[in-house]
Structures are given as C-alpha cells and as structure tokens.
Structure 1
C-alpha cells in the first residue's frame, strides 16, 4: 500500500512539473540582443507569476506604441528592492531589455532607470 501511495505521489508531481518548467522558458526572448526603450509607464503590474511594465514609447514615426515588458516574480523583485508602487503611471523610464524574437513590442527586463538615469531596483 505504501508503494502505491508513493507511486501516486511521484506520478502526480511528474504531471505538474512539465507545465511549470515550460512556463519559465525564455525561448520567446532574443537573449543575444539588448535594446533600450524609453517612455511613460502606463501600468506597473505587481502580479504572480511575473510582474510587468506596460510602457508607452514613440516608434520611429513618432507614434505611441505600447510595450509589454516582463519581469521576475514579485518575491524575486522584492528581494532586489522593488515594491508594488516602485513605478507609478506617468513615470518616465528607460528600460534595457531582451526583445521578443517575433518582433512584437515586448521583452524581458534587464535594467530600469529613471529620467535622470538612476537605476531603479535591480532586476538581476
């Protein structure tokens, strides 16, 4: 009976592990490239499993475009000085990021600086 319960437990964990591992893949980001995007924070989403910065920036034609920028988990960010109200709507920031491979306006955040160039928290 104990072996059957242990086997059921192992199988249960095996069924949960693959989706969890897939969720944390960075394959959609081009980790060989770094770009910097400057703009206005529309929203800072302090949510699990990842925080996000919704940033409005100008494109090459001067049009407003929104970038969705993924960060680490709130627990990870908190340990590095971030707080739920670190970024507020209307804040001017520059974000260094690894862009999405598909060319959409998004990426994973590497560094965030305020309008004066001061680092905000640390993401790594």
Structure 2
C-alpha cells in the first residue's frame, strides 16, 4: 500500500510546482525605462501582460512585452482590467530580459496624463509611501 501512496503524493505535490515558471529570465540588477504608448493590456491568468510601443529616437517605436503578476495579486493592489487601455501614454520601468530581446518584468508604470503610479508589489507601495 505504501508503495502506491508515496509515488502518488510525490506526483501530487510536484505537478503544481512545475506548472509555474520562474522569473529568472529577467535581470533584477538592471532597470530599463520605456517611454511610449500602450498597444495592448491583457488581463489574463497566470500573468497579466502589457505591450508597449516604446519611443526610440530617430527610429520607429519598438514593441516591448512586459510581464506582470496575476490578476488576483493586482486586484488586491487596486488594479482592474480597465487600469490601462490602448493609446495610454506611459513611462514603464522593467527588469529587462537577460537575452536582450525587447521584454521585461514589470516594476512600475506612470500614466503620463495623470501622473498616477501603478506598482505590482505591496513592498513598492509601502516604499512610495502610498499605504
């Protein structure tokens, strides 16, 4: 009986752990600031994503893919699926992808029109004195 239960328990606990990916692809030691326009805001599980057409002096805007945390985590921080919309002018701080592609892990966003700052971690809210 124990020979059957133990492998089942191992599998049961291993499956959820393997379903979530790491943020190791982003370089936490570097921050890149993007000034541009929201192209798309996807409010989906497991991670919300944002596509920004970043201004690139002397050239066409560059499309950057930005990964955030889950909709549930963002909701607890005051975000909604309508927090951002295509066409919004923004300044976004990201930890860039280690491989040099145009993407990053979200750190902070400022809406140019209102100055509203959006963060995705409670520690950032506390650091900015907003709570």
Q: 1:61 aligns with which of 58, 61, 65?
A: 58
The question of 1:103 aligning with 2:103 is answered no
The one-character-per-residue Cα deviations of 1:69-88 (angstroms, maximum 9, x if unpaired) are 00001111111111011101
Classify 1:64/1:123 alpha carbon distance in 2 versus 1 (closer, same or farther; 3 Å): same
Could you list the runs of 5+ residues in structure 2 that have no partner in the other structure? 122-131
Match of 1:119 in 2: 117
Normalised by the length of structure 2, the TM-score is 0.82
Classify 1:18/1:79 alpha carbon distance in 2 versus 1 (closer, same or farther; 3 Å): closer
Normalised by the length of structure 1, the TM-score is 0.86
SS, match of residue 13 in structure 1: helix
The question of 1:12 aligning with 2:44 is answered no
SS, match of residue 117 in structure 2: coil
In the TM superposition, residue 42 of structure 1 has moved relative to its aligned partner by 0.7
Match of 2:40 in 1: 43
